[in-house]
Amino acid sequence: MTITTCIRDADWVVRWNADKNRHEYVRQADVVFRGNAIEFVGRQFTGEADAEIDGCRLMVMPGLVNIHSHPTNQPITRAIREEIASPALYMTSLYDRTGLWKTSQDALYYGAIVAYGELLKSGVTTAVDYAARAPEGWIDLMAQSGLRIVAAPSFRDASWLVLNESRVEYHWAPQAGERQFTEAMALIDAAMAHPSGRLSGMIAPGQVDTCLAETFKKAMAVAESKNLILQTHAGQTLPEFHEMTRRTGRTPIQWLDHIGVLGHRSIVAHCIFVDDHSWTHWHSHEDLALLAHSGTTVAHCPVVFSRYGHKLESYGKYRRTGINLGIGTDTSPHNMLEEMREAIVLSRIAAGRVDDATSADVFNAATIGGAKALGRDDIGRLAPGAKADLVLVDLDHPLMKPGRDPLRNLIFTAADRAVKHVYVDGILRMQDGIVLSMDCDGAADKLETEQKASELSVATLDANNRDGLEIAPPVLPMAD
């Protein structure tokens, strides 16, 4: 039976105004959804409802849209990745050190549960799961999470090799890439056919430097034929920028444009090291214009790169150029609200001014910007006809007081600690901060066991036979 639910007299509601193309606050308002769709957002709903929720001391806002995350293989790197770097590779640890902690099938599975829980707890209702390795049971686990998930199983023609800790080389294996592509298409088809109706697919060639032009062209053709979005990584490190300019004579973004990958159905994750970034010292200044004019979305994930000392220069400049921006969490923790805060702060540091990125700019990126990137107009907003993906924020939480502006409090102060309830598709998925569909605490315990087992083999995988404690030492020395 389809039930009509009314959240009655909420203190604050973040409503989408389609006429003015903006989110806006409404005080003392009602939000009504029937089944999985919103029917009414405004004051004094006079229709009938089967169930009512007292909105007193609550803010109702749209669920956040995370367009780039790696839930399966990143949680195992917690307490490892935050402070390791390869100095001769411009401080990134992408190519060698984090990969030394290998993830078993169980670690991938439990890591996904932990990450899905973190996403819900930080107000995410839609997420792109960009998976280099999909655990057994991945499709059913995505559905069990209660999230609206875009499955993006990735594939690539080459893997990275690091020599002398200072040079990235490429081991090309196109036949393996072809096999990965076939497996990825099967997973996407399975996700789209799942009876939950909340799963969809995305074409995901791994990285700009690990896929051949022919692979990108084939991937784009499939995306167009299936009406899907394509996402890849580019502009994420200086070694990648240097490799692509050496290999092609073009920047990573220019090369993607040259082979026909940029466009309205494309997302480029990270896009930090473009031709006008101060560290690249490149002769052209075309990349941002190419992204804007093509309609390509940039998935901005500031937290993980800030750990290396890297930042976008700047969020505000990308937005003013006309680029559609979305927000992603990329790595652990998958806390969308912390990403939003850091996006604002780092942009202001890069530009040297407070107004370079506002809370409204980044909230838009985390809602309607992400929805636009995914080709959807029914998520990331509270409006009649949109999906009933709702986040209820506790205004009585001490970190939400004084309550002059609840979104500002949520982004800068309270973050996930004030997220009380989350609905996805009209179903309560998190209640009073507890994820209802998965045992996140139990998964975290099992993931801890998996990390300990993984650490035992680090020395056998490291080129210099260093163990995990040498590569990622604890914050403080151990007492005798």
275 against 463, higher pLDDT? 275
Three-state SS annotation for 317-353: HHHHHCCEEEECCECCCCCHHHHHHHHHHHHHHHHCC
The three-state secondary structure class of 239 is helix
Which H helix or E strand runs over 157? none
Q: Report whether 319 contacts 369 (CB < 8 A).
A: no
Rounded to whole angstroms, what are the CA distances from 61 to 222, 353, 421, 423, 435? 35, 28, 11, 11, 18
Q: What is the pLDDT of residues 66-113, one digit of tens each?
A: 999 999 999 999 999 999 989 999 999 999 888 899 999 999 999 999
C-alpha 35/C-alpha 37 separation (Å) is 6
C-alpha 361/C-alpha 6 separation (Å) is 29
Residue 241 binned pLDDT confidence (cut-offs 50, 70, 90): very high
The number of CA neighbours under 13 Å toward the Cβ of 243 is 18
For residue 389, pLDDT over 80 is answered with yes
Domains 4-61+383-435 and 64-373 share a fold: no
CB atoms within 10 A of CB 306: 16
Q: What is the pLDDT of residues 323-372, one digit of tens each?
A: 999 999 999 999 999 999 999 999 999 999 999 999 999 999 999 999 99
φ and ψ of 272, to 5 deg: -85, -50
Kindly write down the DSSP assignment for every residue of 417-443, as one continuous string.
GGEEEEEETTEEEEETTEESSS-HHHH
Q: What is the CATH number of domain 64-373?
A: 3.20.20.140
Q: Given this structure, which CATH class describes domain 4-61+383-435? A: mainly beta
- Output the pLDDT for position 248: 98
Angle at 23 between CA 18 and CA 28, to 5 degrees: 105
Share of the chain above pLDDT 90, in %: 97
Q: What is the pLDDT of residues 407-423, one digit of tens each?
A: 999 999 999 999 999 99
- Output the pLDDT for position 246: 98
Q: What is the pLDDT of residues 370-382, one digit of tens each?
A: 999 999 999 999 9
Read off the DSSP letter of residue 141: H
For residue 261, pLDDT over 90 is answered with yes
Cβ-Cβ contacts under 8 Å for 334 (sequence gap 6 or more): 66, 69, 71, 74, 75, 115, 118, 119, 122, 124
Q: Report whether 295 contacts 263 (CB < 8 A).
A: yes
Q: What is the pLDDT of residues 192-239, one digit of tens each?
A: 999 999 999 999 999 999 999 999 999 999 999 999 999 999 999 999
For residue 1, pLDDT over 80 is answered with no
Q: Domain ranges for the chain, please list them.
A: 4-61+383-435, 64-373
Nearest to 311 by CA among 341, 283, 367, 272: 272
For residue 291, pLDDT over 80 is answered with yes
